[in-house]
Structure 1
Amino acid sequence: MIVPRRFSDSRGWFCETFNARRLLDQEGIAAGFVQDNQSYSAKRGTVRGLHFQVPPHAQGKLVRAVRGRIYDVAVDIRRGSPTFGRFVAAELTAETGGQLWVPVGFAHGFCTLDDDVEVAYKVTDFYAPECEGGIAFDDPDIGIPWPVARDLVSLSDKDTRYPRLAAFESPFAYDGVPLAALAPA
């Protein structure tokens, strides 16, 4: 979790949402971002994910809500990782400005907690449709406690066809850093 500092006054607030030097110095993250993405979801209960791109166009993502709230999830999909198949989750809100860093080798997804939600994220490689992949968002082996009942979830057609983790042949190698619990924001 990364929580940029906000400077408030009578007009509102100012926030530096990305600073490469601060991200490296304070979080140890050296990420060369090449593309910014933004999504809009009209209804509460929209689930997007669990997505990733495989090498040679694997992506790290820095995710934040710019309107509304989301339940944001990162799942370890690195082969050989002692935390393979485990996840971390955080509520990201436009109000608080918290961000989640999702490294290469993790599947990412989120569920909208409000209507009219916008999510922005920076990525470390360009979109490459031939490299995109996904895992079933409701895989019982992962066990993500999505905050919306299954029958109320809205998914894209593509997201309904992703395989379970057990059927996924991971191209991501474990880098020696196990998944750790998120520090409180």
Structure 2
Amino acid sequence: MTVPAPDSAAEWLLGLAFGPPSLVVSTFVLVNALWAWWSLGRSAVVTATTVFNRSQDRPGRKTLKAGATWRIAVAWTIFYAAASFVTQIWAGSQFSPGQGGGLKELLRWSGIFGALTVAGCFYVTPSQGPRHGDQQWAPYLGMVGGYAFGLIWAVIAFTQRGPEPGDWWVCPAMSCVGALGSALRMRIRARASR
């Protein structure tokens, strides 16, 4: 008679209690996926409720909404005009000859995502900010953070293969996501502080 090893005994007991390992893993993955989708749906409903609730919005030129929208429009124009020219100088330099779609493409993507950002900022930013913290420049900080993330992504992607015409949307798109994410966060905090 052989004495069973502790590992084989534990494996036998777990198999007896839970079934084969593939069933355990499959059940875990399925339950985890269902929970993730449930959480995503719940978060989407809460976010949609926050974004589309206009009961706290007040029209006026002196509101946080008007100021933040004006600031993001001016900051986007200045920032992306300079960034487009610097990027074009780099793209046309000896380190990166002939890559990209030129200044026209850079300015086009900056203009498209800039218009989306300004319109989205006006729609999402609350009229009154949260009670605590200075949120005057939150969309701008989100824009700069998004630009940094997009720049890192672009450098990594473009060092593996050079940029081609049509590839210069990355930084403006990430800046748009960052600015609107900051405005949404400000709206959520303003709603929670009331």
Normalising by structure 1, we get a TM-score of: 0.23
User: Which has the higher Rg, Structure 1 or Structure 2?
Assistant: 2
Normalising by structure 2, we get a TM-score of: 0.22
